[in-house]
Structure 1
Amino acid sequence: MFTTRPAVRRRALVAPGTAVTLALVLAACGSSGESSSMPGMDHGATAATSPAATGSPSKDSPSKGHMPGMDHMAGGDGLASAEDGYRLGSPNATLAAGERTAYRFTVTGPDAKPVTAFALDQTKRMHFYAIRTDLTGFQHLHPTMAADGTWTADLSALAPGSWRMFASFTPDGGAGKGTAFVLSRAVTVPGTEKRTPLPAAAARARVDGYTVTVQGEPMAGMSHPLTVTVTKDGRPVTTLQPYLDTYAHLTAFHEGDTAFAHLHPTTRVDGDHGGPRLAFDAELPTAGNWRLFLQFRAGGELHTAALTLKVG
């Protein structure tokens, strides 16, 4: 059967697409649970850095920058806190380091009232992402909403540094009904920061005993298929399990400004029979280094692979 998704309106593109066909290293750690919270990733939760992009003028300000979509992708590069009358607000400008903490936020509509009706997107009404500006510390959560429209994302421990919090959603009413949005705000975690260089690209890597190979060739300004192959002990894996109505969830962040991209495979979902190959039809808006986080479920556990993609 096919993955079911809501009908989503997308905005016009501004920047040319960049193919996401690649041959890269995956350096990963695994975890279980639907919260998809993977603090620290390959660098560990205590490793934090803050690149020069911290002062990007687009942060927390309205923007009309957009990026291309594929079978399902929220519109925009995610660097604005407001767009088309919708605004992401939060009382949390800083969060404590080294301990679990709650990030609270609301989405208001063109009428300045909190939005409480959201469409299901990959089985969830809200997808929330936390990323440090050195592209480490990735967390993907599904927060809970109170009756007044206040969302709470329960974050795992954050390392000191500059972070960005992304909310991906589709209103189920009002002027933005059926339109996918990604909005974000910057957050500071006080403490001593540690720089972690972005890992270099390579052909493949082992992830919790799995070998993940990503094949293709990135080319700026073009859309091209991407193939991900999953093996274990030299044998093809054909038992990938559905995760959020698909066999793999792929999120990408751009080095320097943490621009957001959200990609999904075009492979049909047929029970616990995913793999060994997953097909993507993906684009990224700009050249440079992107850090991709590939999440897939196998053996009853959620595995997360981090990879660096260089787009020319």
Structure 2
Amino acid sequence: MTFLDTRSLARTAGAAVLAAALTACGSTAMSGMDHGSGGAPSATAAGHQNHQGHQTPGAGADAAGQPTAAAPAAAPAAEQNGYRLDAATAALTPGAPAEYRFTVTGPDGRPLTAFGTDQTKRMHFYAVRSDLTGFQHLHPEMAADGTWTAPLAALAAGTWRVYASFVPDSGPGRGTGLVLSRTLDVPGEGAAAEAALPAATGSATVDGYTVAVEGAPVAGRAGELKVTVSRGGRPVTDLQPYLETYAHLTAFHAGDQAFAHLHPEAKAEAGGTGGPTLPFHAELPSAGDWRLFLQFQTGGTLHTVGLTLRVG
């Protein structure tokens, strides 16, 4: 298999937050949406690392130790710190399931095959349409040669971006989470059409559940978001463990598709249930609208809900 040569891509530090058995879990909560399956961070000159060890652009400190403004958000690059995301194809056929194959090449120029575990998985893979109407979260399978295969559900025509979130378990980046990304073209009728981003709101519904989000995050500052799940006006207390927690929360910045993983502040108890309120450590690097995708499980079914959050 021949992978696209991306060594000519600019080496940028625009990689965002974060940061396996084949798992493509779930129900569909919007057009194109499928899904699979803290403490405060320490600042560095180039950004910071969140409590999971993933590299994140954001606020730093000046020479006097005073906090500086957060750097603008940007979509993760295809290459960072010597690690590179190489894909077998840059385009897929719309309206049909497809296997997206890719490798992560290490600083030594070889496909990386040693990965650590982050929330029970060695690889978290996302596909998101440019207008944030389509969302898939998968946990692909890796072959012995380092080739990953992500089984994408049918994608609507348009421009998509894929994200590979992982923790190298060898080499100079060992133990530090990375997110690499590249665009994916899905040509066809309606490819250029983009839906307007839904207005910012404090709640959304999916499969009969209502999800409410409380909090007023400020760009570049650590804060907390509280997510509450209810059904029929009653609190939901039977949330089942999913990826070591009772909910999984990711965010994408409108316009540039910067990526953030909002980490839960507590792990799920084995065999236990949770809810209705779930606190998340939130640190979003730029102001503006972010599209949140919350995934939670009840009765063996995974639910995904999207809502827009305004960050000041």
Global fold match (TM > 0.5): yes
| Paired positions, count | 264
Displacement of 1:240 after TM fit?
0.7
Equivalent of 2:77 in 66, 77, 80: 80
Segments of 4+ in structure 1 off by > 4 A?
A: 65-70
After superposition, where does 1:4-43 map in structure 2 within 5 Å?
34-36=23-25, 41-42=29-30
2:14 touches 2:76 (CA, 8 Å); kept in 1? Answer: no
**TM-score normalised by structure 2 residue count:** 0.79
User: What amino acid is aligned across from residue 259 of structure 1 in structure 2?
Assistant: A
Give the Å deviation of 1:154. 0.7
- Tell me the SS of whatever aligns to 1:229: strand
> Shift in Å at residue 174 of structure 1?
1.3
Alignment of 1:35-114 (within 5 A): 35-36=24-25, 41-42=29-30, 44-45=31-32, 70-72=50-52, 74-76=54-56, 79-114=76-111
Tell me the residue number matched to 1:309: 309
1 CA distance for matches of 2:147 and 2:273? 38
1-side partners of 2:14 and 2:125: how far apart?
A: 25
Q: Could you tell me which runs of 5 or more consecutive residues in structure 2 were left unpaired when the two chains were aligned.
A: 1-12, 34-44, 57-73
1:24-80 deviations in Å (ceiling 9; x for gaps) = xxxxxxxxx9424666x42x139xxxxxxxxxxxxxxxxxx9765544363246521
Q: What SS class does the counterpart of residue 264 from structure 1 fall into?
A: strand
Gaps of 5+ in 1: 1-12, 18-32, 47-64
Which residue number in structure 1 is paired with residue 204 of structure 2?
A: 205
What is the Cα-based RMSD across aligned positions, in Å? Answer: 2.5
Q: What TM-score, normalized by structure 1, do the two folds share?
A: 0.79
Identity %: 58
Q: Which aligned pairs between 1:1-312 and structure 2 lie closer than 5 A?
A: 34-36=23-25, 41-42=29-30, 44-45=31-32, 70-72=50-52, 74-76=54-56, 79-192=76-189, 193=191, 194-270=193-269, 271-312=271-312
Distance in structure 1 (CA, Å) of the matches to 2:222 and 2:115: 30
Please say which of residues 205-214 and 107-116 is displaced more in the overlay. Answer: 205-214
Give, in whole Å, the separation in 2 of the partners of 1:310 and 1:140: 23
**Cα separation, 1, equivalents of 2:297 and 2:288:** 29
1:67 touches 1:284 (CA, 8 Å); kept in 2? no
How many angstroms apart in 1 are the aligned matches of 2:163 and 2:147? 15
Tell me by how many angstroms 1:220 deviates.
2.9
Counterpart Cα distance in 2 of 1:92 and 1:266: 38
Kept in 2: contact 1:251–1:263 (CA 8 A): yes
Residue 250 to residue 231, structure 1, CA distance change in 2 (3 Å): same
